[in-house]
Amino acid sequence: MKRFISMGRPGSLGSRVVQPEWLDELDPADARAQRSRRDLQRVNAWMGNVRKVAQALERAPLREPPGRLVEWGAGDGTFLLQVARRLHARWPKVEAVTVDRLALLSPQTQQGFARLGWTIQAVQADVFEWLRVDPGGKSDVLLSNLFLHHLAAETLGLLLEHAAKRAALLFLACEPERSRLALLGARCLGLIGCNQVTRHDAIISVRAGFCGCEVSDLWPKGGGGQLNERPAGLFSHLFQARHAGGGKGRHA
Ligand SMILES: C[S@@+](CC[C@H](N)C(=O)[O-])C[C@H]1O[C@@H](n2cnc3c(N)ncnc32)[C@H](O)[C@@H]1O
């Protein structure tokens, strides 16, 4: 197994601190939560995460487009839809699955996937619960965006064990970089109109984010794959574990 690891940039904060986020505690029907979900689209744009994830997927040396792609902690699915819009010309038929503990995909978002030729299955479940009811199920690509940082090291290590077993070709995670610059960016989210919930959670998220090779260090030893972990742009942190080979339908 090879590990390609970049060092965190100077100016990183202290150790990770994982704290509850308000959006996870608010009733999804609460107006502040609904507004914060919409803010997340702006935050993803501000961080450049759609472009970064789409580029990383495009550049992954897969011999064929993936058959099945799963996103953990997918929220309202609009992040994955935007990624799909960038990829569908090359990856015209993907069976996409979103897993989130809340049922948030609107009919419009589901239609958006259908218009691209992608099928979409929105699963409402805690990821660990989903892993229990889908034992042995593999996906060609497993991804997450702004999700892993919710988990403390021990739980994250367990989840990464599943990722190593279940991502046949690629596991990709895009998270906040835990740096002073990202903290400054989080403090400026009011300038792009984000509400109090989003501004609070952004700061919590940066403090729970990653730097250096912290995700690689939690990847199971012997989990296989080429690891690549690095800061991405000003505010993001990208982790990839690529398995050799390619080809559709490698999932069970
Ligand atoms: C910050 S949001 C990111 C949503 C989406 N990936 C995006 O970028 O817009 C994190 C999401 O993870 C979900 N989540 C948190 N813990 C979870 C868990 N244990 N299982 C499933 N979903 C979870 C939350 O409900 C929330 O929708």
- Exposure of 234 by Cβ count < 10 A (0-12 exposed, 13-18 middle, 19+ buried)? middle
In this structure, the residues whose C-beta lies within 6 A of any atom of ligand 1 are 24, 40, 44, 73-75, 79, 99-102, 126-127, 145-147, 150
Ligand 1 centroid–CA 18 distance in Å is 14
Whole-number Å distance between alpha carbons of 92 and 15: 42
* pLDDT computed for residue 10 by the predictor: 54
Mean pLDDT, the chain, whole residue set: 91
Instruction: Return the best residue to mutate from 100, 134, 235 for the ligand 1 pocket (most ligand atoms within 8 A of CB).
Output: 100
Closest ligand 1 atom number to CA of residue 44: 8
141 forms bridges with which residues in the sheet? 69, 170
pTM of the model: 0.92
Residue 220 DSSP one-character state: P
Ligand 1 centroid–CA 4 distance in Å is 27
Strands (E), the chain: 3-5, 68-72, 95-100, 119-124, 139-145, 167-176, 226-232, 236-242
* pLDDT computed for residue 205 by the predictor: 98
Whole-number Å distance between alpha carbons of 223 and 219: 7
* pLDDT computed for residue 237 by the predictor: 98
Closest CA to ligand 1's atom 6: 74
* pLDDT computed for residue 224 by the predictor: 76
Per-residue pLDDT reduced to its tens digit, 71-128: 999 999 999 999 999 999 999 999 999 999 999 999 999 999 999 999 999 999 999 9
Does residue 144 contact residue 72 with C-beta atoms inside 8 Å?
yes
* pLDDT computed for residue 225 by the predictor: 80
Does residue 175 contact residue 236 with C-beta atoms inside 8 Å?
yes
Of 251, 12, 22, the residue nearest 138 (C-alpha): 251
- Residue stretches of the chain with pLDDT short of 70: 1-11, 135, 244-252
Q: Is the dihedral of CA 194, 196, 199, 205 positive or negative?
A: negative
- Using DSSP bridges, classify how beta strands 139-145 and 68-72 pair: parallel, antiparallel or unpaired: parallel
DSSP output for 142-198: EEEES-GGGS-HHHHHHHHHHHHHHEEEEEEEEEEB-BHHHHHHHHTGGGGT--HHH
Domains (range + CATH), the chain: 3-242 (3.40.50.150)
Ligand 1 centroid–CA 164 distance in Å is 20
